[in-house]
Amino acid sequence: MAWAYVWAVAVWALIPISKRGGKLFVPAILMLGVLPDIDLFFGNLGVVHHSFTHSIFFWLVIFAPVFAVYGLKSVPYLAAVVQHFAFGDLLVDKVMILWPFSSSYFGLNFGMPSILDVALETAGLLLAAGIIVFNGDLRRLLSVNKRNILMLLPFLALIASMLWFAVDWSLIPLIAYVWTRKSLTALVFDHLILAAFLAISGIQGLRALGRKHALTSKTP
Ligand SMILES: [Zn+2]
């Protein structure tokens, strides 16, 4: 999610100002950043993790109509989803990136967790944090605005991915396991920081709803 934001902002900055169409919609960027891993939930339907949802061509086809309607504005959103497997997964694992033209898995396979993985995830989080402060997104995402309710979607996706491993583990041994390896502890720490930020942003969105309700109930 952090890298999706970094890549999307970088691509957005390359688009001519007249074609950018305003600020990026951050909840969508964050969700797109993890969307390829939706294949995890379809394992019992025979969908193999890191297969077609991790293919560049699959997403090019999905985005073709979006591009036809929204033009260059849509490219940062495509970048958010493509970086998931063409950057992140390609470095730490192997993915079927050229499907349907090749069913081979490509990747540097550094491992997860590994030093490179922890370094990448932490660097992504720090970069995203730096950008979000300077481009004004932090102020918008922490303001009492009902748009921020949608930040609860990436929050839920993040929690779901963190608890994914709890399907085979009960929670207490899972939490204990996190402390057995420094790399895992660091990764969980990164995830908790991001989760806290998403939760606060979402709660600010809910507060906007509450305020609106309080205002309307006061009017006679
Ligand atoms: Zn993935």
Nearest one of 107, 115, 105, 104 to 91, comparing CA atoms: 107
Distance 91 CA to ligand 1 centre (A): 11
Predicted pLDDT at 182: 87
Distance 84 CA to ligand 1 centre (A): 6
Predicted pLDDT at 34: 95
Predicted pLDDT at 178: 82
136 backbone φψ class: left, alpha, beta (φ>0; ψ -120 to 50): left
Give the Cα separation of 64 and 134 in Å (integer). Answer: 32
Q: Are 205 and 147 in contact (CB under 8 A)?
A: yes
Give the Cα separation of 29 and 154 in Å (integer). Answer: 9
Distance 58 CA to ligand 1 centre (A): 14
Helices (H) and strands (E) in the chain, counts: 11, 0
Distance 168 CA to ligand 1 centre (A): 19
Residue 196 DSSP label: H
Mean pLDDT by runs of 10 across the 220 residues of the chain is 98 93 94 94 89 96 96 97 96 94 92 88 96 95 96 95 71 79 88 96 94 69
Predicted pLDDT at 204: 96
